[in-house]
Amino acid sequence: MEYKVVPFTATLDQKKETTSVVADQLEKLIARYTNQGWIYVRLESVSTYVQPDPGCFGIGGKPGYMASYQMVVFSKIQL
- pLDDT band of residue 39 (cuts 50, 70, 90) is very high
pTM for the model stands at 0.76
Q: 49-62: per-residue pLDDT in tens?
A: 988 888 887 687 88
Going by pLDDT thresholds of 50, 70 and 90, the confidence category of residue 68 is very high
In angstroms, what CA-CA distances link 23 with 2, 10, 56, 65, 67? 26, 9, 42, 28, 22
The domain ranges of the chain are 2-76
Give the Å distances, CA to CA, from 32 to 27, 36, 44, 45, 67. 9, 7, 18, 21, 27
SS3 22: helix
CB atoms within 10 A of CB 72: 19
Q: Stretch 7-12: mean pLDDT, rounded? A: 90
